[in-house]
């Protein structure tokens, strides 16, 4: 299992890049995605549906089970290391946010050069960013990025 973290300023393109990586790699690898959401009081469910009602009534854990998916909502903060340890059977974990998480391979998605002060292994920049240092240019460099991930995994 390999961990890849993507961090950068808001609207830098992190989610789009990870979505395209998952779309490209999911037929070959089992992928887990973990997102740092810096604000609380969110709902991932549809307001008024049974699971939403039960979660909002105070259930500690709520499951939504369909023919091909199971959703789990818990009323607890889970540390990143716990989430990773619960998913050791996957091939890839993509983490969005958590810029101070120092394990795995770190990708700085450059939206602001202020983020260059944080630790990273690679820089990804959109072609609309003026940064001229060594980096992977996105979206043209998607294939290069997939190659970096494959190399890190050992394939």
Contact criterion met (CB below 8 Å) for 145 and 21: yes
Mean pLDDT, the chain, rounded, equals 93
d(CA 35, CA 140): 25
d(CA 51, CA 41): 16
Contact criterion met (CB below 8 Å) for 73 and 45: yes
The token duo for 146 is 């997939």
- What three-state secondary structure class fits 153? helix
Domains of the chain by residue range: 2-39+77-153
**Does the CA dihedral 82-83-84-85 come out positive or negative?**
positive
CATH code of 2-39+77-153, in short, is 3.40.50.300
For 105-118, write each residue's pLDDT tens digit. 999 999 999 999 99
Identify the residue whose tokens are 């810029």. Answer: 99
In the structure, what pLDDT confidence band is assigned to residue 95 with cuts at 50, 70 and 90? very high
For 13-46, write each residue's pLDDT tens digit. 999 999 999 999 999 999 999 999 887 777 778 8
pTM of the model: 0.90
């Amino acid at each position: 299992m390999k961990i890849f973290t993507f961090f950068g300023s808001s609207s830098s393109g992190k989610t789009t890049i990870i979505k395209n990586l998952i779309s490209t790699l999911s037929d070959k690898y089992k992928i887990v995605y973990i997102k740092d959401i810096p604000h609380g009081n969110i709902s991932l469910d549809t307001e008024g549906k049974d699971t939403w009602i039960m979660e909002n009534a105070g259930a500690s854990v709520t499951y939504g089970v369909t023919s091909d998916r199971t959703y789990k909502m818990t009323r607890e903060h889970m540390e990143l290391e716990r989430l990773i340890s619960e998913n050791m059977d996957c091939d890839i974990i993509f983490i969005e946010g958590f810029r101070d998480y120092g394990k795995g391979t770190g990708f700085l998605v450059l939206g602001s050069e202020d983020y260059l002060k944080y630790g990273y292994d690679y820089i990804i920049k959109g072609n609309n960013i003026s940064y001229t240092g060594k980096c992977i240019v996105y979206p043209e460099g998607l294939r290069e990025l997939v190659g970096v991930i494959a190399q890190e995994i050992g394939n």
